[in-house]
Structure 1
Amino acid sequence: MEKIEAVASLGQAELLRPARVRAALAANDRLKLYLSVLQAAHDCAQRGDARALDLAREFAVAGVDAPWLAQLPATAYREGKELHVAGLDRLAGLLAEDLCTMARPLEGDADFAARCAHWCAWLEALAPDTLSSAQLHALTSGKRGKDDSLHLLVMDLHKALNRLASELSSETIDGAHVWQVDATDRSRIAAFMRGLNATRALKLDHPGLDTAATRDGARLLLQNDIGTNDAHVLVIQVEGLRVVLTYSDLHRRRFAFFQSLLCEVGANWSEPQARTSAGLNFGATYYVGTATFDCADEEALCGVLEGIGTRIVFLIDWNRARKRLEQFVGKTDAVAILAEAARRRVGHMAWLAAGGEQLVFGAMQALGPEYFRIGDRLDGVLGTEKARAFVLESMALASAAMQQRQPLALVADDTRLLLARYLHRHDEFDLLAEHAAYCHALAEGLRDGLAHGHERDRKAAREFSERAKDWERRADQLVMDARARAEARPRWEAFAELVETADDVADALEEAAFLLSLIAADHHQGWRGEVHQTMQLLADAVLGAAQDHVRALEIARGFGEDSSAEDHEAFVAALWRVLNAERQCDVLLRDVRRALAEHVSDAATLNLSTDFAQALESATDWLLATGYGLRRLVFSRAGVGR
């Protein structure tokens, strides 16, 4: 006699319920498999070929060994509006049997009893091997509306069983409802709950994360409710040193997000399968996949369970957060932000609870039209990387504040101040610094080119000239960007003027690179005597001025209330070095001309070499003019007289 029947004979009906719940949960796995088989049969018949979904993992997880059932989709075909399914009567019997098994622990619930009776009778009335489109929809639809479906009944029974399981648990382990487990199971359940509880606070007051655990033969079963969505399910089976996680989700992007999170703890994922095609369930497809973890020892297994538990909280309201973020950054960046927020254990729930997109819109509005116009997106003003960094930092602020029960007004104020710091720290000076980097690259390339004798190397001089032209074009684009911003925002006008002046530096250096390529192109008759040495000194001085320009910009970027007297002195010193370099280059240009007059007689070489030296010296003239402009800008922003 089965143990269940023995207990029943003793009149201890209450003791039957945990075993019946366990049997009902196993029946739930089988019912989902049967509906997936029907889905696959429909898809095969719709396509007109025998290619079916690979359901081998699902058969294994459900513990079903039925070759006839596995072959059923490949034999299905359509005739008019009817789907022909060989063995449908046999499958209908299995559906009805497991539906009754699922409902058994819930005896006494009149609504479930009536629905189960209806669907059992409906299944019995089916034709032996054909289904109409309406009947297939009635079996597999997960869309809630005025009509019931067998799929909806299975999902509702599953939810009720989870609630019953928590009520029946004989004990709790760190918050998990547990029954009929052994000593080994306890440490494994504790490991999972240790991870879950480490990040549980990040969900704030949102429902979800309730966990139930029991043993089914040789397997430990763990189930977490995640949130409230019907199709959002996570089940873990542990047998020996192997962990198998089954996960389903309505949202393909969130599924991929969870896949990436679990890959960090060694998951080997199956290919996610759509359980509803576009023609069914009104297009509300959901996805199911399994992740397998093969562990070396018990310590590694507990580490995997803890790692899984740590990451579940980041699934709650993930799709809502993603949609909010896409108002400020691109789709890929929104997912990247959520992934990084999970890795930092910050999460997105606090940000949503504190206002989400309204926090950012409020901060943008508070800074006014000089920074943001109507329709501006955050990454369009800050740039992609800085927009992502700002949002992540604002999420961290919100998480800390909400967990400490700080007022929402304080979170909003902190977000506004954070955005102001990002704009002051990373806006206009970024563009200037990027332009200065191109000027530095040009000056460095010219200095190195002379050091390696590129005036005699046609190929090397031409390659550098082409690179220099590309850098100069990019520098020009920055000028156009600054002009466009100045048209919309008055605060950009001074920066646009400054970068226009700096662009003459890039033009002069690019001209020098072009002239060097001409000198190397069969026109060089030799820089005899002191010519090469004085040219090298001139190029060294130009590079030194470009380096000091970069230093001055970097110091100016950090000016603010917390800047020190040492910063001010370093800024002024860098500008003075640019001035001295300009004066030095005036002298060196005359030395070059003198050397050329004494040692070069070839007219082409003389003219090209003179123009080359003149272009180098001209770059320092414009660096000096840019330095004066930078000084005026910085002093005016700091409220210091000229």
Structure 2
Amino acid sequence: MEKSAAVASLGQQSLLLPAWIKAALAANDRLKLCLTLLQAAVSQALSPQATPPDLSPEMAAAGLDAAWCRELPGSGRRDGEEVLLPALPELMAQLERDLGVMARPLLEPVSAGAAPLPADERERVAAWLACLADSHGTRVSTALLHQLSHGHRGAKKAHRSGTHAVLHGPDAGDSLHLLVMDLHKQLNLLAAGLCSELLDGAHVWQLRDEDRPRVQAFMRGLQRTRGLKFDHPGLDTAATSEADRLLIQNDIGTNDAHVLVIQVQAQCITLTYSDLHRARFAFFQAQLAALGAQWSAPQSRLSEGLNRGEAYLLGTASFQAQDEAQLLQQLEGLAARVVFLIDWNRARKRLQLFVGKAAALRVLEQAAAREVGHMGWLRAGGEQLLFSAMQAMGDQAFRVGERLDEVLGEAGATDFLLELLALCTQSLQAQQPRAQVADEARLLLARRLQLHAPEFDLLAEHAALCQSLAASLSEALSHRLSDEPEAAAKLARRAKLWEREADELVMAARERALRQPRWLAFARMIEKSDDAADALEECAYLVSLISEHHEGWNRKVRESLARLAEVVLQAAQEQVKALAIARHLSAASAATEHEAFIAASWGVLRAESECDQLLRQAKRCILAELSDAASLLLAHELAQQLERASDCLLNAAYALRELAFGKAGVRA
């Protein structure tokens, strides 16, 4: 004897309702699958060159594995504007049966607390049951497909007109798809009201003893991150046992097309997931894959009126556990990830106002991995919170319309947004006022701007090029490169490339200065530094000429010029050091930092002063040792350009001194 019949014989009619609801939810899955099969068959008939979709995982999950179901997607044939579908009668019969099963708990409530459907809804169900029962024929028109599957409420009555066959009886603007969604909502409400037990927050009924720890594991994961949704609706969980499997359904949010159903059988977890947004689907795939899920190839679905007529995705993920302990761990882990789906797409779009698409996805992925989430940021003001913080920094930091990554760089902007999301979550969980969160966001951005200092990145890159030029010259003169024409020519070519890179940095600084006034001082400084780069590139060119005209050169001439180049290199190195220190200087900097900056700055000055003396010594040596006119001229010009490079480096050091003293809050 079936359990339901035994319960009825004892007079406990109310206990029949959980079983009815369980059957109704299974019928809901079959109804949606049948409509999907119908859409797939029509699409395949209209576009026979396309590959038929593989719906076998969905059919197996729904328990609908009849031969006509498996053959349906590829069995349609186009006949004019209609599609000939031999299995249409079986499909209509299945729709009628499952609609009756789905509506039964709502049409015949046997629980004292369950109210029946309103009269108009009961008539609506009756009309659809009647028209499905009276349906005959094997032809499907676009009008019939629309009447069965559209999701647009208030559809125009024009769909009833024309010569194509449609179902008569239901309201012209209604559809079977809309009815199924509405019944599903009512079933969820009914299920929540009849649960015989609340297990760690989950509504459960007819649960096997061995399934209780599994539901508790799922709820542990859900409760671990549940607070990250704040007051957003969603995450209600229902669970029941059916035969030898556990069924868990979670209400992710408020969207009808966003569904998550979990089946646990033996040591295997199977999750069915559908989503309107491809990017969010991929995000959830990655989240569960990190926990060991194996995903089937997601299938694209089309449903008129759903997702604005665009495709949505349906896929299954499976976890295979080695033992019960691992199974419980997997249930807890996947449940903890569900909260990050709520308002995910809204957060992604808001983040893309400040960074690119890829960076926005990385922020959401890392926020989920750190169990920080994005809802705190949205609740604290989202994009308006950040726009206000950027505006508070003034025109010196951000121009109107400038994105965050254009100022901080992609990596810097990504790191800042992660910090901001964590800050908002922690502050709202501590019930801080939003005005206080806004103040903290401004301070966080100010610290990030000070640490990032893109203008110093540009200066440091230019100074590094100057150091490379000086180092190459010093090495060339120390190793008698002037006697090797091929090596000297290679040095000149390499120096020219470095000098062009330095010019590009100057142009970038000038462009920034046109848009942001705070860059003016940095543009002027890099121009002074670029004079040194020009002089050093000219030196490399002169070395290549000297390699072709080095008559009369001897050890004394080479040593005098090599010594001069060595001290120019020292000046370039001190300038690089001074820039590295100046980047972090502020009024709150330690005295040792200020002292280190002064020492590096004076190192440039001392090097320039030494170059003045070495230039005079080199001139005496050149005049005394060289008699060939070309060699004399080239050696003298090389010495002059080396000393000029030291002068330019000193000018850049003075400009840096003014910037650094300004950051430290003192007058230069």
Q: CA deviation at 1:576?
A: 1.0
SS at match of 1:205: coil
Q: Is 2:164 the partner of 1:138?
A: no
Q: CA RMSD in A?
A: 3.0
* Equivalent residue, structure 2, for 1:220: 246
With over 3 angstroms needed to count, the CA separation of the structure-2 counterparts of 1:388 and 1:526, relative to structure 1, is farther
What aligned pairs does 1:586-605 form with structure 2 within 5 A after superposition?
A: 586-589=612-615
Q: CA deviation at 1:607?
A: 5.9
Q: Is the 8 A contact 2:267 2:320 kept in 1?
A: yes
Q: Structure 1, residues 393-414: CA drift from partner, whole Å, max 9, x if none?
A: 2222211111111111111122
Moved more, 297-306 or 596-605: 596-605
* Equivalent residue, structure 2, for 1:502: 529
Matches of 1:277 and 1:466, distance apart in 2 = 63
Q: Is the 8 A contact 1:43 1:277 kept in 2?
A: no
* Equivalent residue, structure 2, for 1:211: 237
Q: Structure 1, residues 573-619: CA drift from partner, whole Å, max 9, x if none?
A: 11011112223344455666677778888877776666555544433
Matches of 2:286 and 2:536, distance apart in 1 = 47
Q: CA deviation at 1:571?
A: 0.7
Q: Which of 371, 384, 407 pairs up with 2:397?
A: 371
SS at match of 1:243: strand
Q: Structure 1, residues 259-317: CA drift from partner, whole Å, max 9, x if none?
A: 22222212222222221168987514321111222233333322222221121111111
* Equivalent residue, structure 2, for 1:89: 89
With over 3 angstroms needed to count, the CA separation of the structure-2 counterparts of 1:3 and 1:429, relative to structure 1, is same
What aligned pairs does 1:228-267 form with structure 2 within 5 A after superposition?
A: 228-267=254-293
Q: Is the 8 A contact 1:232 1:249 kept in 2?
A: yes
Q: Structure 1, residues 470-509: CA drift from partner, whole Å, max 9, x if none?
A: 4433332332232223233333221221111122233333
Q: Which of 596, 600, 603 pairs up with 1:574?
A: 600
Matches of 1:468 and 1:597, distance apart in 2 = 28
Q: Is the 8 A contact 1:96 1:123 kept in 2?
A: yes
Matches of 1:119 and 1:449, distance apart in 2 = 91
Q: Which of 108, 117, 125 pairs up with 1:109?
A: 117
Moved more, 166-175 or 232-241: 166-175
Q: Is the 8 A contact 1:143 1:284 kept in 2?
A: no
Matches of 2:27 and 2:553, distance apart in 1 = 91
* Equivalent residue, structure 1, for 2:297: 271
With over 3 angstroms needed to count, the CA separation of the structure-2 counterparts of 1:579 and 1:44, relative to structure 1, is same
Q: Is 2:507 the partner of 1:480?
A: yes
Instruction: Please tell me whether Structure 1 or Structure 2 has the larger radius of gyration of its CA atoms.
Output: 2
* Equivalent residue, structure 1, for 2:466: 439
1:430 partner amino acid: D
Matches of 2:553 and 2:572, distance apart in 1 = 26
What aligned pairs does 1:219-618 form with structure 2 within 5 A after superposition?
A: 219-276=245-302, 282-427=308-453, 428-446=455-473, 468-515=495-542, 529=555, 537-589=563-615, 614-618=640-644
Q: CA deviation at 1:209?
A: 0.9
Q: Is the 8 A contact 1:341 1:347 kept in 2?
A: yes
Matches of 1:296 and 1:612, distance apart in 2 = 76
2:529 partner amino acid: A
Matches of 1:8 and 1:457, distance apart in 2 = 106
Moved more, 503-512 or 130-139: 503-512
With over 3 angstroms needed to count, the CA separation of the structure-2 counterparts of 1:412 and 1:593, relative to structure 1, is same
SS at match of 1:405: coil
* Equivalent residue, structure 1, for 2:39: 39
With over 3 angstroms needed to count, the CA separation of the structure-2 counterparts of 1:558 and 1:11, relative to structure 1, is same
* Equivalent residue, structure 2, for 1:9: 9
With over 3 angstroms needed to count, the CA separation of the structure-2 counterparts of 1:267 and 1:593, relative to structure 1, is farther
Q: Is the 8 A contact 1:542 1:619 kept in 2?
A: yes
Matches of 2:511 and 2:578, distance apart in 1 = 25
SS at match of 1:253: helix
Q: Is the 8 A contact 1:278 1:285 kept in 2?
A: no
* Equivalent residue, structure 2, for 1:169: 195
Matches of 1:193 and 1:584, distance apart in 2 = 75
Matches of 1:385 and 1:310, distance apart in 2 = 27
Q: Is 2:202 the partner of 1:202?
A: no
1:571 partner amino acid: F
Q: CA deviation at 1:512?
A: 4.0
Q: Which of 219, 223, 230 pairs up with 1:193?
A: 219
Percent identical among aligned pairs is 56
Q: CA deviation at 1:463?
A: 6.1
Q: Is the 8 A contact 1:50 1:73 kept in 2?
A: no
Matches of 2:289 and 2:350, distance apart in 1 = 26
* Equivalent residue, structure 2, for 1:179: 205
Long gaps (5+) in structure 1: none
1:87 partner amino acid: A
Q: Structure 1, residues 448-488: CA drift from partner, whole Å, max 9, x if none?
A: 66778766777776666555444433332332232223233
1:373 partner amino acid: R
Report the TM-score when normalising by structure 2: 0.87
With over 3 angstroms needed to count, the CA separation of the structure-2 counterparts of 1:443 and 1:58, relative to structure 1, is farther
Q: Structure 1, residues 143-176: CA drift from partner, whole Å, max 9, x if none?
A: 3345322122222222333333333333333212
Q: Structure 1, residues 59-83: CA drift from partner, whole Å, max 9, x if none?
A: 2222222233222221213323222
Moved more, 478-487 or 410-419: 478-487
Moved more, 464-473 or 369-378: 464-473
SS at match of 2:555: coil
Matches of 1:163 and 1:204, distance apart in 2 = 22
Moved more, 503-512 or 626-635: 503-512
* Equivalent residue, structure 2, for 1:70: 70
Matches of 1:175 and 1:466, distance apart in 2 = 73
Q: Which of 97, 111, 125 pairs up with 2:134?
A: 125
Matches of 1:307 and 1:330, distance apart in 2 = 29
Q: CA deviation at 1:333?
A: 2.0
Q: Structure 1, residues 519-572: CA drift from partner, whole Å, max 9, x if none?
A: 67x777897636666665555444433332222122222222321111111110
Matches of 1:278 and 1:603, distance apart in 2 = 89
Moved more, 32-41 or 603-612: 603-612
Long gaps (5+) in structure 2: 108-115, 156-172
SS at match of 2:225: helix
Q: Is the 8 A contact 1:370 1:490 kept in 2?
A: yes
Report the TM-score when normalising by structure 1: 0.91
Aligned residue pairs, count: 641
Q: Is the 8 A contact 1:321 1:352 kept in 2?
A: yes
1:230 partner amino acid: D
Q: Structure 1, residues 23-53: CA drift from partner, whole Å, max 9, x if none?
A: 2222222222212211211221221336211
Matches of 1:467 and 1:603, distance apart in 2 = 28
* Equivalent residue, structure 1, for 2:111: none
2:597 partner amino acid: F
With over 3 angstroms needed to count, the CA separation of the structure-2 counterparts of 1:530 and 1:189, relative to structure 1, is farther
With over 3 angstroms needed to count, the CA separation of the structure-2 counterparts of 1:50 and 1:414, relative to structure 1, is closer
Moved more, 369-378 or 206-215: 369-378
Q: Is the 8 A contact 1:50 1:74 kept in 2?
A: no
Matches of 1:196 and 1:456, distance apart in 2 = 76
Matches of 1:429 and 1:508, distance apart in 2 = 22
